[in-house]
Amino acid sequence: MPDYSHSTPCTLLDKLWQRHAVNTTPDGHTLLYIDQHLVNEVTSPQAFDGLRMNGLRPWRSESVLATADHNVPTANRIIGIKDLMARRQVEALSRNCAEFGLTEFPMHDARQGILHVVGPEQGATLPGMSIVCGDSHTTTHGAFAALAFGIGTSEIEHVLATQCLIVKKPATMQVRIEGETRRGVTPKDLALALIAQIGTSGATGHALEFAGSAIERMSMEARMTLCNMALETGARCAMIAVDETTITYLHDRPYAPRDLRRDQAVQYWRTLHSDPGARFDRIVELDAATVRPQVSWGTSPEMVASIDGLVPDPAAEQDSVKRQAMERALAYMDLTPGIRIADIALDKIFIGSCTNARLEDLRAAAAVVRGKRVAAGIAQALVVPGSGLVKREAEAEGLDKIFLAAGFEWRDPGCSMCLGMNEDRLSPGERCASTSNRNFEGRQGSGGRTHLVSPVMAAAAAIAGHFVDVSQL
């Protein structure tokens, strides 16, 4: 176990960086050792081709866990993948994993799902790890006091071949969230409120560490949502210190250490927090008690308003760049300044994604729709579990029956309508309440209009046909 008994107080980032730094050059670049590598079907094919071209093999095959999530169908999976490109990518992942001796959860495996759901639930994500994946929302895994971030295809090849990556250490930002949340306010709302406060570039070049009384009360599922959305502040990674919640969650996970190894691991895990007096480059504070349920109105996660608010008027914005961005967003979203957020009618509902497709999210949404029906004006309402195991547990609790009785579609796991790379997508002009993480133009389908909300807000909107204040239900 590393010794952190030196006199200078360390941040959590300092401890993780020190543990994984192989070498640091005078210009500040660090050769960082990578513990866990999560691989999907979209960003990995060229990386495996690079290994073949150079006659290389993975340096540590046991560090790799792969599953297809972006392209997999969430309905009628038994008949296979219709889209040729999607099918080729999924098939290529299976071939590559077989050739190079890597662990894969294939499409029909009960453990298949979104990597940022599968990793934690399998215990492949552990405190103190460095974790990379060819997907930007790898920040999710930082909820376990891990150093986790997304990488590109060339970097995937580099990690497969060398188990290392050349990076620069980011600056540190502590985000303190104190206070009790109001009824109906979720971690998704806290995340959107934070993004609205500091902007989508407010944490660029930083590693975020969430702290405060509101964080300490959160479940691991809630913490994962927060770290997932932290990417939308521009942060390189996000972290939360280990506590009893973390340790309890990991007990008896398939890939987690057991018996004596677990005792040793837990002893180390308990050191994974920032020391008293540790210096951060920046500190941001958010009062949880002031946050209301949030709804995005524009084409950036920072363009959000409270459910009791109005669509803003660009004319009131002094910054010309922001004003122009607001004008373009409102034109794309077909919204008029000054209308009530609660008056925005919807076409589709999507509950899923690596942000909000865990069992806790589905339970909360089901509690809202129980005994009710989806509004007549809603053309489609999807519930897409984050993994096959989440789906199985939800069905064991009867959540699928609640959703189906209300008029929702109950699907197989995958990224689904989060990014529209499979058959689940918006048509031009369709408006969706989505529990995903991004809302830029065309994110869920060409011409589609995305409003980011929490699972309970999406569920309530499905029943009403428009946005409503879930805290009043």
pLDDT band at 422 (very low <50, low <70, confident <90, very high): confident
- How big is the chain by its Cα radius of gyration, in Å? 22
Q: Report pLDDT digits (tens) over 124-170.
A: 999 999 999 999 999 999 999 999 999 999 999 999 999 999 999 99
Question: What would the two tokens of residue 466 be?
Answer: 């428009």
Sign, CA dihedral 218-9-3-141, equals positive
Give the pairing type, strands 36-39 and 206-211.
unpaired
Mean predicted lDDT score pLDDT of the chain? 97
pLDDT the model gives residue 1: 47
User: pLDDT tens across 96-130, in order?
Assistant: 999 999 999 999 999 999 999 999 999 999 999 99
**Whole-number pLDDT of residue 421:** 87
Q: Which residue shows structure tokens 């308003």? A: 305
Rounded percentage of the chain residues whose pLDDT exceeds 90: 96
pLDDT at residue 4, rounded to an integer:
46
Q: Has 164 been labeled as part of a binding site?
A: no
Is residue 176 helix, strand or coil? strand
- Reported as type and span, the H/E element at residue 421 is none
Give the whole-angstrom CA distance, residue 450 versus residue 452: 6
Q: Parallel, antiparallel, or unpaired: how do β-strands 29-33 and 21-24 relate?
A: antiparallel
Tokens of 354: 């690596």
For residues 317-345, average pLDDT: 98
Q: What is the pLDDT of residues 205-215, one digit of tens each?
A: 999 999 999 99
∠ CA 384-74-237, nearest 5°, is 55
Residue 390 in this model has a pLDDT that exceeds 60 = yes
**pLDDT, tens digit (0-9, with 9 covering 90-100), for 295-305:** 999 999 999 99
Q: Which two tokens stand for residue 239?
A: 């972290």
Catalogue all structural domains in the chain, each as residue range(s) with its CATH number. Answer: 19-169+244-267 (3.30.499.10), 173-237+274-290 (3.40.1060.10), 295-472 (3.30.499.10)
Q: Alpha-carbon distance 335 to 329, whole Å?
A: 9
**Distance (Å) of CA 453 to CA 143, 148, 168:** 21, 25, 34
Tell me which H or E stretch contains 178. strand 171-178
Cβ(152)–Cβ(43) below 8 Å: yes
Residue 61 to residue 72: CA distance in whole angstroms: 24
420: left (phi over 0), alpha (psi -120 to 50) or beta: left
Token code pair at residue 93: 């992942």
Residue type, 335: L
Residue 227 annotated as part of some ligand binding site: no
Q: What is the mean pLDDT of residues 389-402?
A: 98
Residue pair 176/285 in contact by the 8 Å Cβ criterion: yes
Mean pLDDT across the stretch 413-437? Answer: 96
Specify the higher pLDDT residue, 1 or 312. 312
Label residue 473 by pLDDT band (50, 70, 90).
confident
Phi and psi for 286 in degrees, rounded to 5? -135, 130
The pLDDT of residue 420 is: 85
Inform me whether the pLDDT recorded for 7 exceeds 80.
no
Would you place residue 279 in the very low, low, confident or very high pLDDT band (cuts 50, 70, 90)?
very high
Q: Residue 230: which of 145, 144, 131, 140 has the closest Cα?
A: 140
Q: Say if CB 224 and CB 142 are below 8 A apart.
A: no
Q: Report phi then psi at 24, rounded to 5.
A: -125, 130
